[in-house]
Amino acid sequence: MYEHDVVVVGAGGAGLRAAIAAQEAGADVAIVSKLHPVRSHTGAAEGGINAALRDADSWEDHAYDTMKGSDYLGDAPAVEALCKESPEEVIRLEHWGMPFSREDDGRVSQRPFGGLSFPRTTYAGAETGHQMLHTMYEQVVKRGVTVYDEWYVMDLAVTNEPDSADRTCHGVVAYDIQTGEVSGFRADNGVILATGGMGQVFDHTTNAVANTGDGVAMAYRAGVPMEDMEFIQFHPTTLPSTGVLISEGVRGEGGILYNAEGERFLFEHGYANNDGELASRDVVSRAELTEVNEGRGIEDEYVHLDMRHLGEERILDRLENILHLAEDFEGADGLEEPMPVKPGQHYAMGGIETNEHGETAVDGLYAAGECACASVHGANRLGGNALPELIVFGKRAGYHAAGRDLGKAEIPTGKSGNWEPADYEFETTVGETGGPGPAAADGGAVASDAEAVLGTAVERARDRVETLLERRGRNHAEIRSAVQETMTAHVNVFREEPGLEQALSDLREAREGYTDVAVSDPSRTFNTDLIHTMETRNILDIAEALTMGALARREFRGAHWRKERQERDDENWLKHTLVSWNGGEPELWYKPAILEGEARTYEPKVRSY
Amino acid sequence: MSTQIPKETEETEGSKADAEAGVPSKGDVRRAEKRRRAAEKREERRAEEAERAAAAEHTIELRVFRYDPDVEEKQEPRFDTYHVPFEKGMTVLDTLIYARDTYDSSLTFRHSCRQAVCGSDAMFVNGGQKLACKTQIVDLEEPIRIEPLPHADVRKDLVVDMEHFYDQMEAVEPYFQTDELPEGELEEQRQSRENREKVKMSTRCIWCGACMSSCNVAAGDNEYLGPAAINKAYRFAMDEREGEDVKQKRLEIIEQEHGVWRCQTQFSCTEVCPKDIPLTEHIQELKREAVKSNLKFW
Amino acid sequence: MATRYSSFKQGGRLWLLQRITAAFLLVVLAFHFFLLHFVNHANEVSFLASSARMGTVSYYSLMVLFLLTATFHGVNGVYNALVNQGLSGRKRTVVKWTLVAASAVLIVQGIRTANAWAGIPLY
Amino acid sequence: MSQSYDRGLIEDFSRWREFEAGMWAWIFHKFTGWVLIGYLFTHIAVLSTGIPASGAETAVLQAGTDVYTQTIVSLEQLLLVRILEVGLLAVAVFHMLNGTRLLLVDLGVGLESQDRSFYASLVLTGAITVASVPTFVAGAF
Ligand SMILES: Cc1cc2nc3c(=O)[nH]c(=O)nc-3n(C[C@H](O)[C@H](O)[C@H](O)COP(=O)(O)OP(=O)(O)OC[C@H]3O[C@@H](n4cnc5c(N)ncnc54)[C@H](O)[C@@H]3O)c2cc1C
Ligand code: HEM
Ligand code: SF4
Ligand code: F3S
Ligand code: FES
């Protein structure tokens, strides 16, 4: 058993920032991460970090753009916190030595990005995330924060009150990948989940293999609702064979999209008459898929992204990394030919429901980063808005967990504010299958003091590991790929009712299959088979909640497109989708989006680019 | 290996661009050369791919190192052979994933991003240190032999203990230190473009450990900081924002007994680095910096 | 910054000396080879010829310097190579002093020989 | 605890198929350096016969029957010694040329073409050695 004031799960941008903040506020912090910090997927971010740094710009404009981009599903207090604090956080990174790209006068460069009214995206070449991740890890080394790397967090140790709002989180249970030891990490002040994205729910994704949404699923089973899960951003420019992302920076610098007929389709087919290539991601993704579906795709699969006209010098200066990516992963030379691109899963706008301080409905449990939903991105995230989210909300969660007073939060969590139940009948049963098997890891133990709660959670986790290792059964890989396939087939950019129902019943089947998974590698050392098997369970829970939300929301908002109703319905749907686990019987409900901010009230407008 | 000299025109173009950005042209010449080489390779690869596609149902033979101290039948290191169907654009990592998901779920290797940024999957492929996700199958000879990184303790299969590497990386005070922070909280600490350009390559390290594994000096002298850590020190020592005093301290760190002087300019680190960091060049520059700063007061 | 005066670390000084001696040896070794294999042929060696050459002060001092630098360069090179292979602790100290002793013997013996040729009675 | 998979020196090197130029240069330089220092010790040992020789009569010296001249001449008559000398030349020339290359690398010159300069050292060493063979074996038969 390990004991700290604050335990941060995950060591990407959000986790590292949270740990630094908590330590600054005087707490004894530990980071527990299944990957060594520098291996986190924040390192893959290319494009940049939005921050209103210049006099001609203002955080209010940034907030307005963000809200508009979110299709009015962001919560104003969170959006404003993001935009207000991003500049100071970016400068802090700069003071920590982050090698930003520079202007001639030595100031940080900024470039235009989709959906922004001002070129406010700061960047470090085409490797912004890498530089940000490493800069923050350097600070963690400097400050001597304890890091338990290659420890897979299996579960949260949460008390077992029937109403999740009464529960308290006392720590986490983790599995040491190197040795196979299962151990408890007691967190006296709080646990901060910063486990990143969930791209592995789909099979064509820009996300890492490790992005399996563990934190979201863990919190979900412990009683925290998942918010707005149906909003998945599909990035319009990913390489067809691997899903590797070609940064929006290419379009920001002036890259052009062509279809098989050589048409600049965003203009010529009227998808985005004003902003063209710089229109919001969802617009561009749908435009591309429409082109492909209507037979104007190349090899019926992708379109072309051309940056040759920018000239070698500019490309080398600002987009050199893109050249390597296209070369190494697709065999295309961006200086000589257009690059093939197609939409791929990129970002989950939804996640663990939190308020603007990172607090969840369960006491002592926080979330920040991509796994959390505060919500700043609403129905659609603007490019360059996730990295500032990591540093702003990572910091806030860290401070709050360490006991710093941040004032009263305006966003209600759980069912503490206005809420309404969903009246949607799913054709398929959802939720836990076949009683509490080894896979059932509903958060909660009978006892209420920290030691006992943690003790029971550790026992349960050990049992689960033993069972998975001892019994014989199916390999998780087939289940995982079945999930990924059905999600990509039916819950992709274009969604319609029969497909979504189909996905839900496929997921049911996968869930049933999962009840007899087993791990065939008996080893206690670096058993990745075991880790992947546990991750697959998380993928299942997330996929299901995501599909439920997508089925119920009959409108077209942001990244969520529904065939049945291809327009935004502000009358009925200016509200967040929430799914609660309820001990195995998922419940769908809603709460209103908060559009009244400090700067203004954000009146829904037509989103046209 | 290509020994051709880059074309004249390319070179002058490159250096013109440099003059404007105020960048030393050496790196650009090298990159131009690299690109040209890559283009050649791509041509070869295309031809190769066409050939292999023609020879329908081509499968790749992999020989993968297996070892697990925990499992009786794997305690004695051995090689397992797998046959993996070839697909266009396939990387070494793809073949390993295929083999694991299809034949043996206990096959163990680190990987995450699949795009050469997380640095998890450096391994020894056909006798060279490679990043598996960035190594195209068509560029390799068959059978493909995959082993864990040399000169590191093997934990299991292709997984090696990285602790020592991390220790070395952290031994050079790998964090920005400056006492010249600007006044205002929103005030940037300016840096010239030239200076950013100078440290740019050194900031690209993804901690994969390939360089350390390829260096024979590091293999012999366990305490040698190694190319990656020295490069990390370079990244800060050359950053103008750190100031003179800190630079002196940095030089003292890299000058220690197991620091830069151990490097014997083997160049293998530079050859294997998946991020094309000119490691030897950086190490040599630090040696000269160290000598210079010492001679000043000698 | 008082520390700077003495901050020239062992490693750095030896490293520099290794390069300086190398540059010197480059010239002298070439000369040596040329003189004794191409100008004077191997099968024409005689004590008197050697003796005559050693008689000149400049040649004598060049050869002594040659001996000193070559010994330092070679022995330091060997020592470095061993340290690079991880030689450390007590073993290393032993090796170090053995090498120093061997160098001393080599240099003394070399100078005695040179003296013998040059007719200097110190041998 | 974990066990290191010790490939052993031989296995290490034989499997290391992607040994690049710089690595070969390093190995050769090491090898030639050791040979040279080894030679320096024997060289001085052989030359030391000059010490007893210097005590000999002038007549003996003129006749070349002193210990030193005798030792050298008898050694030089052996074909094996001549061949070894050619080897020594090759070793020395390579060490000198590659040493020059290393000195340049230390000065930051020619890092881009370090592989080419290594090949050049090899070729030049070969050429110089071959060209010197007549001189070196002259009079040995
Ligand atoms: C290719 C790509 C490009 C992007 N570009 C941009 C951009 O230009 N601008 C922008 O603003 N955003 C960008 N994004 C989005 C942004 O990078 C991510 O949203 C963000 O990095 C997520 O950071 P994070 O800290 O939340 O998670 P991550 O960086 O993914 O870190 C997750 C951490 O959690 C740990 N973890 C996960 N599960 C467990 C577990 N069970 N136990 C223990 N530890 C666990 C992992 O080890 C890891 O350390 C991009 C994303 C991608 C994929
Ligand atoms: C002729 C000119 C010479 C040049 C230019 C030269 C150059 C060098 C250089 C630069 C090194 C250092 C390599 C490194 O540390 O990276 C070196 C190493 C060495 N040199 Fe020389 N050298 C010369 C002559 C000699 C001679 C005459 C001897 C023998 C007495 C000798 C013996 C050695 C040895 C033993 C090493 C160490 C090799 C190793 O690393 O194992 N060199 N030489
Ligand atoms: S320097 Fe290159 S090879 Fe070495 S760890 Fe960094 S990225 Fe890997
Ligand atoms: S391989 Fe090693 S010897 Fe130096 S040039 Fe690289 S660190
Ligand atoms: S998988 Fe991340 S570097 Fe290869």
What separation in angstroms does the CA of A99 have from each of A110, A473, B195?
Answer: 13, 50, 10
Q: In whole angstroms, give the CA distance from residue A170 to residue A155.
A: 11
- Most confident stretch, A242-246, A340-344, C39-43: A340-344
Q: Is the dihedral of CA D105, D109, D115, D119 positive or negative?
A: negative
Task: Give the number of the ligand closest to the Cα of residue B168.
Answer: 3
Amino acid identity, residue D108?
G
Q: In whole angstroms, give the CA distance from residue A196 to residue D104.
A: 49
Over residues C22-79, the pLDDT tens digits come to: 999 999 999 998 888 777 776 677 788 888 888 899 999 999 999 999 999 999 999 9
Neighbours of chain D (3+ CB pairs under 8 A): B, C
Instruction: Count each helix (H run) and each strand (E run) in chain B, helices first.
Output: 11, 7
Q: Over 70: is that where the pLDDT of B23 sits?
A: no
Residue nearest to atom 2 of ligand 3 (CA): B273
Q: Over 80: is that where the pLDDT of A343 sits?
A: yes
Average pLDDT, chain B: 84
Maximum alpha-carbon separation in chain A: 67
Structure tokens at A138: 């350097």
Is D7 a domain residue? no
Is C85 a domain residue? yes
Q: DSSP secondary-structure letter at A514?
A: H
Q: What is the pLDDT of residue D140?
A: 59
Residue B29's Cα: distance from chain center in Å? 20
Q: Which residue has the tokens 């133990």?
A: A445
What is the set of active-site residues of A? 281
Which residues lie below 8 Å from residue A357, measured CB to CB, with a gap of 6+?
A: A366, A396, A397, A400, A406, A409
Ligand 1 site-directed mutation target among A7, A8, A32, A33, most atoms within 8 Å of CB: A33
Cβ–Cβ < 8 Å for B291, C16:
yes
Show residues of chain A in contact with B207, CB under 8 Å.
Answer: 36, 38
Q: What is the pLDDT of residue C3?
A: 32
Is C76 a domain residue? yes
Q: In whole angstroms, give the CA distance from residue A479 to residue A66.
A: 37
Q: In whole angstroms, give the CA distance from residue A445 to residue A463.
A: 14
Is D49 a domain residue? yes
Q: In whole angstroms, give the CA distance from residue A117 to residue A65.
A: 7
Task: Give the number of other Cβ atoms within 10 Å of residue A91's Cβ.
Answer: 22
What does the DSSP assignment read for A557-580? Answer: BTTB-BTT--S--HHHH-EEEEEE
Q: DSSP secondary-structure letter at B230?
A: H
Q: In whole angstroms, give the CA distance from residue A556 to residue A562.
A: 5
Give the CATH H-level superfamily of domain B163-179+192-293. Answer: Alpha-helical ferredoxin (1.10.1060.10)
Q: In whole angstroms, give the CA distance from residue A356 to residue A260.
A: 45
Backbone angles phi, psi at A2, to 5 degrees: -110, 150
C-beta atoms of B220 and C4 within 8 A: no
Q: In whole angstroms, give the CA distance from residue A192 to residue A188.
A: 12
What is the number of alpha carbons within 13 Å of residue A142 lying toward its C-beta? Answer: 16
Instruction: Count each helix (H run) and each strand (E run) in chain D, helices first.
Output: 7, 0
C-beta atoms of B33 and D112 within 8 A: yes
**SS3 for A203?**
coil
Give the mutation candidate from C21, C35, C47 for the D interface (greatest D CB count, under 10 A).
Answer: C47
Cβ–Cβ < 8 Å for A319, A123:
no
Give residues (CB < 6 A) around ligand 4: B 214-215, 217, 227, 263-269, 279-280, 283
List, by residue range, all CATH 1.10.1060.10 domains of chain B. Answer: 163-179+192-293
Any atom of ligand 2 within 6 Å of the Cβ of D100 = yes
Q: Over 50: is that where the pLDDT of C7 sits?
A: no
Average pLDDT, chain A: 92
Chains D and B touch (3+ CB pairs under 8 A): yes
The CATH code of the domain at B54-159 is: 3.10.20.30
Show residues of chain C in contact with D69, CB under 8 Å.
Answer: 45-47
Q: In whole angstroms, give the CA distance from residue C27 to residue D13.
A: 34
Over residues A188-237, the pLDDT tens digits come to: 999 999 999 999 999 999 999 999 999 999 999 999 999 999 999 999 99
Q: Which residue has the tokens 């989950």?
A: A348
Q: Which residue has the tokens 């599903």?
A: A73
Q: Over 60: is that where the pLDDT of B27 sits?
A: no
Average the pLDDT over B142-165 and give the result.
92
Which residues lie below 8 Å from residue A564, measured CB to CB, with a gap of 6+?
A: A496, A497, A554
Over residues C69-103, the pLDDT tens digits come to: 999 999 999 998 888 877 878 888 899 999 999 99
Maximum alpha-carbon separation in chain B: 70
Show residues of chain D in contact with C23, CB under 8 Å.
Answer: 103
What value does the CA radius of gyration of chain C take, rounded to a whole number of Å?
A: 18
Q: Over 90: is that where the pLDDT of A348 sits?
A: yes
Is D121 a domain residue? yes
Residue D56's Cα: distance from chain center in Å? 33
Query: Scanning every residue of chain C, which has its alpha carbon at the shortest distance from the alpha carbon of B257?
Result: C11
pTM of the model: 0.89
Over residues A76-127, the pLDDT tens digits come to: 999 999 999 999 999 999 999 999 999 999 999 998 887 899 999 999 988 9
Residue A51's Cα: distance from chain center in Å? 20
D65 touches chain C (CB under 8 A): no
Over residues D64-83, the pLDDT tens digits come to: 788 888 888 888 888 888 88
**SS3 for B26?**
helix
Written as tens digits, the pLDDT of chain D (141 aa) is: 233 445 554 445 545 555 678 888 888 999 999 999 999 999 999 988 888 888 778 888 887 788 888 888 888 888 888 889 899 999 999 999 999 999 998 888 888 888 899 999 999 999 999 988 888 777 655
Residue nearest to atom 8 of ligand 3 (CA): B208
Query: Scanning every residue of chain C, which has its alpha carbon at the shortest distance from the alpha carbon of D141?
Result: C43
Structure tokens at A499: 């497909």
Q: What's the N-to-C CA distance of chain A in angstroms? A: 54
Confidence of residue B22 (pLDDT cuts 50, 70, 90): very low
Which residue among D15, D19, D22 places its CB closest to the CB of B265?
A: D22
Percent of chain A at pLDDT > 90 equals 80
Between A438 and B112, residue with greater pLDDT: B112
Is C7 a domain residue? no
Its domain, for residue D82, covers: 21-140
Which CATH number is D57's domain given? 1.20.1300
Q: In whole angstroms, give the CA distance from residue A597 to residue A378.
A: 15
Q: What is the pLDDT of residue B34?
A: 62
Q: In whole angstroms, give the CA distance from residue A384 to residue A367.
A: 20
**SS3 for A192?**
strand
Cβ–Cβ < 8 Å for A412, A203:
no
Is C3 a domain residue? no
Q: What is the pLDDT of residue B11?
A: 32
Between A533 and A274, residue with greater pLDDT: A533
Structure tokens at A447: 């006892």
Q: In whole angstroms, give the CA distance from residue A243 to residue A229.
A: 21
List, by residue range, all CATH 3.10.20.30 domains of chain B. Answer: 54-159
Strands A110-111 and A49-50, by their bridges, are: unpaired
Amino acid identity, residue A456?
T
Structure tokens at B84: 């993996």
Q: In whole angstroms, give the CA distance from residue B129 to residue B149.
A: 7
Alpha helices in A70-186 (DSSP H): 76-95, 128-143
Cα A26-A31-A33 angle, rounded to 5 deg: 170
C-beta atoms of D106 and B284 within 8 A: yes
Task: Give the number of other Cβ atoms within 10 Å of residue D46's Cβ.
Answer: 14
Average the pLDDT over A60-64 and give the result.
96
Residue nearest to atom 44 of ligand 1 (CA): A33
Neighbours of chain A (3+ CB pairs under 8 A): B
Interaxial angle between packed helices B25-54 and B8-21, expressed in degrees from 0 to 180 and rounded to the nearest 10: 130
Between A514 and A279, residue with greater pLDDT: A514
Is C47 a domain residue? yes
Which residue among D3, D17, D105 places its CB closest to the CB of B69?
A: D3
Q: What is the pLDDT of residue B31?
A: 59
Ligand 1: centre distance to CA A198 (Å): 9
C-beta atoms of A107 and B188 within 8 A: yes
D26 touches chain B (CB under 8 A): yes
Confidence of residue B48 (pLDDT cuts 50, 70, 90): low
Q: DSSP secondary-structure letter at A427?
A: S
Q: DSSP secondary-structure letter at B258?
A: T
Any atom of ligand 3 within 6 Å of the Cβ of B95 = no
Closest to B158 in 3D by CA, of B221, B95, B200, B237: B95
Give the mutation candidate from B40, B52, B105 for the A interface (greatest A CB count, under 10 A).
Answer: B105
Is C46 a domain residue? yes
Q: What is the pLDDT of residue A49?
A: 97
CA distance B31 to chain D (A): 10
Query: Quick one: three-class SS letters along chain C?
Result: CHHHHCCCCHHHHHHHHHHHHHHHHHHHHHHHHHHHHHHCCHHHCCHHHHHHHHHCHHHHHHHHHHHHHHHHHHHHHHHHHHHHCCCCHHHHHHHHHHHHHHHHHHHHHHHHHHHHHHCCCCC
Its domain, for residue C75, covers: 13-118
What is the number of alpha carbons within 13 Å of residue B294 lying toward its C-beta? Answer: 19
Q: Which residue has the tokens 């965003």?
A: A266
Q: In whole angstroms, give the CA distance from residue A106 to residue B192.
A: 5
Q: DSSP secondary-structure letter at A239?
A: -
Is D16 a domain residue? no
Residue nearest to atom 34 of ligand 2 (CA): D33
Task: Give the number of the ligand closest to the Cα of residue A244.
Answer: 1
**SS3 for A370?**
helix
Alpha helices in A331-430 (DSSP H): 386-401
Average the pLDDT over B46-51 and give the result.
64
Which of B33-42, B224-233, B278-287 comes out lowest in average pLDDT? B33-42
CA distance C2 to chain D (A): 28
Which residue among C7, C9, C84 places its CB closest to the CB of B221?
A: C84
Is C70 a domain residue? yes
Structure tokens at A279: 């229109």
* Burial group, residue D108, by CB count within 10 angstroms (0-12, 13-18, 19+): middle
Number of domains chain C is built from: 1
Any atom of ligand 3 within 6 Å of the Cβ of B208 = yes
Ligand 2: centre distance to CA C22 (Å): 6
Average the pLDDT over A484-499 and give the result.
94
Number of domains chain D is built from: 1
Which CATH number is C55's domain given? 1.20.1300
CA distance B72 to chain D (A): 14
C-beta atoms of A178 and B155 within 8 A: yes
Is C5 a domain residue? no
